[in-house]
Amino acid sequence: MTESKKILNVWGRSHYHKWCNQTVNWCPSDTLEAFRKNATNPDTRKLLEQNGWLGKDITYVFNEYGYRCDSFDLPCEILFAGCSQTMGIGLSLDVLWASRVADHLKIPYHNIACGGADWQHVSQRLVYWLPILKPKTVVLKYPPEVRFNWWDQETAVSTCQFDEEELMSCQVNESRPLIDITECSNGKWYLYSMSEFVRQLCKKNNINLITVPTGRLNHDNENSQQDLARDLDHHGPLEQNYTYKYALYKIKNEEYS
């Protein structure tokens, strides 16, 4: 295998590669340990109950490449990409916006989103998978700006895995590069340059691109702080429903970027 092919393979790798062709019930940050803790605390138990997570099983079914979607052997109409909000951490597929869009359109469900992804990892996966899957449309929900990822050989590492104190202690002489890299001018740069890069990629491959902004879209929802996934960290069913309608509207009206 040539060096450049090896590099491409790393870029296309799922963070959940260890679970290829497997089904699991928990996936960080949606862990059994955290769920048990939340279920015993009256405040957080109430949130679990309100969102319908008490007594509801969630399964994470990974395909042959470690992505939480249908097999890549099936023809690809729409490819979903993004971070955990698109992969569906703490959510069952019947709630997750991307899965519902595929169901509604009666097409195979292809999703290369991974939890913890930043702009670089999102676009790296697209570089690898677009020429292989050849979707007609990519639906990309933007990952957070304040995040910077890299590869430790074939393992993805992200600033989101470390707390502020740890990032502050990572120093080059007097500077704190990982704090700088994730903030302000640098974070916006990744958003700007990588979104242009993704547009170029789609254009080169004759693929339509639909974008969904990062964060919550349903700003009118007064209960948004209470609308949560099972890990009580990611967006919950109400926001998923809103994003589902938002993406579907854009697809049906061909609102391409």
Partner 1 sequence: MKINDNILKNWGYHGNFPDLVNQTVHFFVDSEKKLYQKDMKDPSRKKLIERFGWTDTNITYTFNSDGFRSDEFNQQCYILTAGCSESFGHSLDLESMWAKKLCDHFNCAHMNIAIPGSAWKNVAMRIGYWVPKLKPKIVAIFSPPTYRLGWIRHWHDGYVGAGFVGGRYSSSHMKIKLKSKLPGNRFGYTSERPFVDMLNDDNVTYNMISNIEFIKKICKDNSSECLIVNSATIFNDFNNISDLKLDLARDLDHSGKVFNNLVFEYFKEQISKIE
Find out whether 212 and 142 touch, Cβ atoms under 8 Å.
yes
CA torsion, ordered 78, 86, 198, 177, to nearest 10 deg: -170
CA distance 166 to 118: 19
Kindly identify the residues of this chain, within the stretch 135-154, that bind partner 1 according to CB under 8 A: 150-153
Closest to partner 1 by CB, 17 or 45: 17
Q: Does 123 engage in binding with partner 1 (CB under 8 A)?
A: yes
Q: Which stretch, 17-25, 47-55, 196-204, 233-241, contacts partner 1 (CB under 8 A)?
A: 196-204
CA distance 93 to 101: 11
CA distance 235 to 244: 13
Q: Which residues pair with 172 in a beta bridge?
A: 175
**Whole-number Cα distances in Å, 147 to 60, 153, 184, 190:** 25, 19, 11, 9
Q: In the stretch 20-59, what mask flags binding to partner 1 with x, by CB under 8 A?
A: ----------------------------------------
* CA-based nearest residue to 191, from 237, 124, 136, 145: 145
Closest to partner 1 by CB, 8 or 105: 8
Contacting residue, 61, 146, 167, 248, with partner 1 by CB under 8 A: 167
CA distance 112 to 114: 6
Least distance CB 10 / partner 1 (angstroms): 5
Q: Does 181 engage in binding with partner 1 (CB under 8 A)?
A: yes
Closest to partner 1 by CB, 159 or 240: 159
Q: Which stretch, 37-45, 97-105, 168-176, 213-221, contacts partner 1 (CB under 8 A)?
A: 168-176
Provide the binding-site residues for partner 1, judged by CB under 8 A: 3-4, 7, 10-11, 120, 123-124, 127, 150-153, 155, 157, 161-162, 166-167, 169-172, 175, 177-178, 180-181, 183-186, 188-189, 191-197, 199-200
